[in-house]
A and B are shown apart, each in its own frame.
Chain A
Amino acid sequence: MAKILMKGNEAIAEAAIRAGCEAYFGYPITPQTEILEYMSRQMVELGRTFLQAESELAAINMVYGAACAGSRVMTSTSSQGFSLMQEGISYIVCSEVPAVVINVMRGGPGLGNIQPSQGDYFQMTKGGGHGDYHVIVLAPATLQEAIDLTILAFDLADKYRSVVTIIADGMIGQIMEPVELPEIEPPQRPDQPWALTGAKGRERNIITSLYLGGPNLEEVNLRLQKTLEEIKANEVRYAEYMLEGAEIVVVAYGTAGRIAQTAVKEAREEGIPAGLFRPITMFPFPYGRLDEVAKSVEHLLVFELSAGQMLEDVRLATRDRLPIHFYGKMGGVVPSPAEVLTEIEKIASP
């Protein structure tokens, strides 16, 4: 299949359309506004639902409404917009309806800046909103991966009746790369007897996240936890690069993973036995595999575009059994592979 050159945001949007996205509600925020704009043209031309909401708060609640109708629905935002969506996401997960949320991270906290960052790891992987829940978090490192994971996101959302997110960053949103787009096929969706489509010929459906009385809500929570256990058992994804004989393994995801990959390649060329472990599902985090990998290496170097958020999960996975180094950049600053290589060299020859 021929490759075409696409911008990350547009590739994600096109992937969603090919996945059969029926409705998109969003709000402009840099560096992901191109997703909104692409959808505003394509969805309308295809006769599907597009609406620019008055805020991210409104957007996620429109997503919630459309999801309750059983629609294949998506929104996209960046960092502080995702913060605004947390309440809505908590409601959607509790209600067990499917939705996809793209977060193209920018520098934070606060108003921050528009440069790439990975500062939302906590708010995306640890539930983020109120209550006991998690969303699936998929981390592309290339635009091809962004396309494939966006399509996967819709299927996982249907499978688990939950919210699936893409954790991207401004770099992925803005760069252009050659990609292959899959042929458009109508998606295979499960039956949705729970959907709010009007009580014709059946009992009424109620979709709520309100369960007054302890035992009721406990029951719902137990069910949500059970779904999370299934997700953890079935959906872990990661990539490994040059792990054979590696003594220093860099752990990084997304754009940081991509930068680290070049640094690891160059380290190997210098004779340093380096490797890369790149989680693709940040939730469910690949604790098991990372623990296994860590058993046969000397050092881990966690590299993030943040103050160290995934770092905590790496430490959890390995119980601090081995030296875990950290290299991070905040403020939307993106280091070059050379800077990461320097960190690897420091570990190799302290």
Chain B
Amino acid sequence: MERKAVFANPEALTDDLTHYCPGCTHGIVHRLIAEVIDELGIREITIGVAPVGCAVLAYNYFNLDFAEAAHGRAPAMATGLKRVQPDKVVFTYQGDGDLAAIGTAEIVHAASRGENITAIFINNAIYGMTGGQMAPTTLPGQVTTSTPFGRDVKLAGYPLRVAELIATTSGAAYVVRRMVTKPATIASAKKAIKLAFQAQRAELGFSLVEILSSCPTNWGLSPLEALEWVEESMAAYYPLGDYKVIDEVKSLK
């Protein structure tokens, strides 16, 4: 019997080879988003907003209309894009500097306003693009290039738990945390991304999927070791789970 291709490049992803490091989970999440867009048939009405960070060139990899935002401002840009064309699907793709440091006001207010946009939040506990400095999500004791002695909570405070924070806003409809460390968790992350986009399509409010991700290069670990660190250390501080799922979203499942 003939063999047919059952897994190949999604249409919403271009053929471009990414600039991401070997084993970087950006590649996995990009693909999940593209698969979801293909499955929902929304490629031609979706607009993405890229962050400043390693994913600053994300628009090279998606076969979608895309805008490049200033650092942290993607939710505001997405708000502008969506408010003037409410029939389109608009999502932001942001890292921990972009969303949880400089862009904290923008993400909180977009959520609070219940903007019908989706934010995909890549939490890898470090600033990748600029070479490995402390992020708001860096764990206590974690060594980075700006916390060479390990993050001292007395000096640098505590990490920010974004999913929990955003879930407290009344405008948020779907706020969950997942990780992409093995096929099972990757599948769960994909389901969450899909539900988030569906919530947007149903105009139910703001959706955010926080994805615990790895940064092998700046953590100084191999890609496989890095995923283990996500499962053992990051998931302990940032528990996976559904932090806000309004009833209307539940009934979409």
Contacts and interface: CB of A to CB of B under 8 A. Distances in A.
B77 A49 contact: no
A88 B80 contact: no
Contacts of B83: 23, 49, 51, 62, 66
Contacts of B77: 61-62, 64-65, 68
A66 B46 contact: no
Given A87-B70, A208-B59, A208-B67, A64 B44 contact: no
B152 interface: no
B80 A69 contact: yes
B212 to A, nearest CB: 27
Chain B residues touching A, range? 35 or more
A199 B43 CA distance: 7
Interface in B64-81: 64-70, 73, 76-81
A67 B83 CA distance: 11
B251 to A, nearest CB: 27
B80 A67 contact: yes
A250 to B, nearest CB: 41
A183 to B, nearest CB: 25
Contacts of A199: 43-44, 63-65
Contact of B76 (A53, A197, A206, A209): A53
A145 to B, nearest CB: 29
Interface in A198-241: 198-201, 204-210, 212
Nearest to A207: B67
A61 B85 contact: no
Nearest to A200: B44
Nearest to A209: B68
B109 interface: yes
Contacts of B56: 210
Contacts of A54: 105-106, 109
B45 interface: yes
Nearest to B86: A49
B47 interface: yes
A49 B65 contact: no
Interface residues of A, number: 40
Contact of A204 (B49, B64, B68, B84): B64
Interface centre among B76, B78, B80, B85 (most CB of A within 10 A): B80
B30 interface: no
Contact of A62 (B62, B68, B80): B80
B84 A88 contact: no
Interface in A43-72: 49, 51, 53-55, 57-59, 61-69, 71
Contacts of A66: 80-81, 83-84
Contact of A88 (B47, B66, B70): B70
Nearest to A68: B67
Interface centre among B45, B70, B77 (most CB of A within 10 A): B77
Given A198-B85, A207-B68, 20 more contacts: A53-B109, A54-B106, A55-B105, A57-B76, A58-B79, A61-B70, A62-B76, A62-B83, A64-B69, A65-B49, A65-B69, A65-B76, A71-B80, A88-B73, A198-B45, A198-B47, A206-B59, A206-B65, A206-B66, A207-B67
24 contacts: A51-B113, A58-B79, A62-B76, A64-B80, A65-B77, A67-B80, A69-B47, A71-B80, A71-B84, A73-B80, A88-B73, A197-B88, A198-B85, A198-B88, A199-B43, A199-B44, A204-B62, A205-B65, A206-B59, A207-B66, A207-B67, A208-B66, A208-B68, A212-B57
Interface of A: 22-23, 25, 49, 51, 53-55, 57-59, 61-69, 71, 73, 87-88, 91, 95, 196-201, 204-210, 212
